[in-house]
Structure 1
């Protein structure tokens, strides 16, 4: 079961690393999109969320306070879903569909991150192959 939990953690965080790299290497383009959505201090927000994703994903991946890492990812995912993918404001059907898909992805990933939080906060290092036990 330890190896399965590790594989699950690897697969789960894969998306966050790719997205974080984009936030940190294509900051101006991503900040422009954030600005168009009304995000205050879009460049700083883009960089901060990139760092938040890297830290949270590394914590989950390595099993260093994986429960806290999962909560950090929830802290990124839920506001992003509502601020950046507000499909209900779109009038173009294609844009609305694209934003709805991204909204649903973020909400679903937030649910998965909450499950990781519950598993690691409850079972802690009992799931094995972690560097530390849970913080909470």
Structure 2
């Protein structure tokens, strides 16, 4: 079971590392998109969310307070889904479809992160293959 959970953690955080690198290397472009969605201080928000994703994904991947890492991902994903992927406001059918896909992806990932949080907060160190036990 320990190895399966480790493989699940690796596969789950893969997306966040790629996204975080984009946030940190293409900050100007992504901040422009965030500004168009009404995000305050979009450049700071873009860079900050990139750092948040890296830290949270590393915590979950390495098993360093994995429960907190998973919870941080939920804190990132839920507002992102509603603020950045507002498909219900789109009038262009193609844009609406793209935003709906991104919205659903973020909600699904938030659900997965909540499951990781529950597993680590509940079972925690008994899963093994982690650096620390749970924080919560």
- What TM-score, normalized to structure 1? 0.99
Cross-structure match for 2:28? 28
Cross-structure match for 2:6? 6
Give unmatched runs, 5+ long, in structure 1.
Answer: none
Matched residues, number? 136
Cross-structure match for 1:129? 129
Q: Distance in 2 between matches of 1:53 and 1:45?
A: 12
After the TM superposition, which segments of 4 or more aligned residues of structure 1 sit over 6 Å from their partners?
A: none
Q: Distance in 2 between matches of 1:110 and 1:65?
A: 18
- What TM-score, normalized to structure 2? 0.99
Give unmatched runs, 5+ long, in structure 2.
Answer: none
Q: Distance in 2 between matches of 1:84 and 1:99?
A: 8
Shift of residue 59, structure 1, vs aligned partner: 0.3
What is the aligned-residue RMSD (CA, Å)?
0.3
Q: Distance in 1 between matches of 2:73 and 2:131?
A: 19
| Deviation sequence 1:23-81 (CA, Å, 0-9, x none) | 00000000000000000000000000000000100000000000000000001000000
Shift of residue 94, structure 1, vs aligned partner: 0.5
- Structure 2 residue 97 is the aligned partner of structure 1 residue 94: no
1:47-58 equivalent positions in 2, closer than 5 A: 47-58=47-58
Q: Distance in 2 between matches of 1:59 and 1:134?
A: 11
